[in-house]
């Protein structure tokens, strides 16, 4: 089988290989649902304990230098910063003029922090605070927290422990039941910058709701995910903010025989009276 795959890579054009993957490969995103409850009923959910243990083991391997970075508990051996995201971080650093205080919403056990810590200016000595589910916060505080990396269960708790320059939400917003309500809630915190990354945006009229199925070799799970209308989402994000830059993100979203582009948006708060 390995020989066959290698041979196909050599003889088939990349467009043909991509079509075959979409047509016969793993179907990550399935269905088209009207409500979150409907999509949730078609999803199996996930075993939180298994995922947390897997991500913790992978993160400890990264911290110990046995891997370059992890994503969803999967290890990668070669250093590879997320270039568009990293460039956006540097733009904010230049505008602020000092080491950043980052609030990373849904940042797992520091996936973005550990991946980029050796590349950050200022010797990587940024304050990086993560807001996550209680199970992640518990193991993060026990095994990983230090003077630069802290874990909190709510945005309010994190803010009480020090204001932040940048609110980061990478690959998370689309997995929330009421993302629009949260965007409205976050307006009250008045962060100077917001950075949304790996958003599945499309130009069709309505938001789409599907169920994501994780391949079993990663972990067994399925859960609802939003595919947002681009214009409507940007309108919600820019009520108090201006767009500093919009960029193509790292993730790709294969749905049926198509591929949704992934988008990142860096926002700066507008001066208001």
Pick from 168, 25, 53, 149: which is nearest to 105 by CA?
168
Q: Could you tell me if residue 27 is inside a domain?
A: no
Cα 185 from Cα 192, distance rounded (Å): 15
**Within 10 Å of residue 191's Cβ, how many Cβ atoms?**
23
Q: Could you tell me if residue 222 is inside a domain?
A: yes
What pLDDT, in 10s, does the model give residues 110-150? 999 999 999 999 998 999 999 999 999 999 999 999 999 99
Q: Could you tell me if residue 28 is inside a domain?
A: no
DSSP state letter for 246: E
Structure tokens at 273: 């009276």
Q: Could you tell me if residue 30 is inside a domain?
A: no
Q: How far is CA 187 from CA 137, 233, 238, in A?
A: 24, 14, 10
Q: Could you tell me if residue 209 is inside a domain?
A: yes
**Within 10 Å of residue 249's Cβ, how many Cβ atoms?**
22
In CATH, what number is assigned to the domain containing residue 170? Answer: 3.40.50.150
**Weakest-pLDDT range from 74-78, 252-256, 262-266:** 252-256
DSSP secondary structure letters along 73-117:
TEEESS----HHHHHHHHHHHHHH-S--EEEEET-TTTHHHHHHT
**Weakest-pLDDT range from 42-51, 149-158, 166-175:** 42-51
Q: Could you tell me if residue 145 is inside a domain?
A: yes
List the domain range (segments joined by +) for residue 140: 44-269
Q: Could you tell me if residue 127 is inside a domain?
A: yes
Q: Domains in the chain: how many in total?
A: 1
Whether the predicted model's global pTM rises above the 0.85 cut? yes
| Residue 257 pLDDT grade (very low, low, confident, very high; cuts 50, 70, 90) | low
| Residue 20 pLDDT grade (very low, low, confident, very high; cuts 50, 70, 90) | very low
Cα 127 from Cα 111, distance rounded (Å): 15
């Amino acid at each position: 089988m390995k020989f066959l795959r290698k041979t196909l890579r050599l003889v088939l054009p990349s467009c043909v290989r991509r079509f075959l993957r979409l047509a016969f490969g793993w179907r990550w995103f399935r269905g088209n649902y009207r409500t979150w409850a409907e999509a949730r009923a078609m999803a199996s959910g996930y075993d939180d304990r298994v995922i947390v243990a897997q991500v913790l083991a992978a993160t400890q391997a990264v911290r110990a230098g046995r891997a370059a970075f992890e994503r969803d508990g999967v290890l990668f051996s070669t250093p590879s910063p997320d270039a568009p995201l990293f460039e956006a971080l540097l733009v904010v650093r230049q505008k602020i003029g000092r080491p950043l205080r980052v609030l990373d919403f849904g940042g797992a056990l520091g996936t973005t922090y550990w991946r980029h810590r050796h590349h950050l200016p200022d010797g990587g000595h940024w304050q990086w605070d993560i807001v996550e589910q209680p199970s992640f916060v518990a193991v993060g505080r026990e095994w990983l927290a230090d003077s630069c990396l802290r874990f909190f269960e709510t945005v309010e708790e994190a803010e009480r422990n020090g204001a932040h320059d940048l609110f980061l939400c990478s690959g998370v917003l689309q997995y929330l039941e009421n993302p629009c309500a949260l965007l409205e809630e976050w307006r009250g915190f008045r962060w100077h910058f917001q950075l949304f990354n790996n958003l599945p945006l499309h130009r069709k009229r309505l938001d789409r709701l599907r169920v994501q199925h994780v391949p079993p070799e990663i972990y067994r799970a399925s859960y609802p995910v939003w595919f947002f209308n681009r214009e409507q989402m940007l309108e919600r994000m820019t009520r108090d903010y201006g767009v500093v830059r919009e960029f193509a993100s790292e993730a790709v979203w294969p749905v049926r025989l198509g591929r949704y582009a992934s988008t990142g948006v860096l926002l700066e708060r507008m001066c208001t009276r």
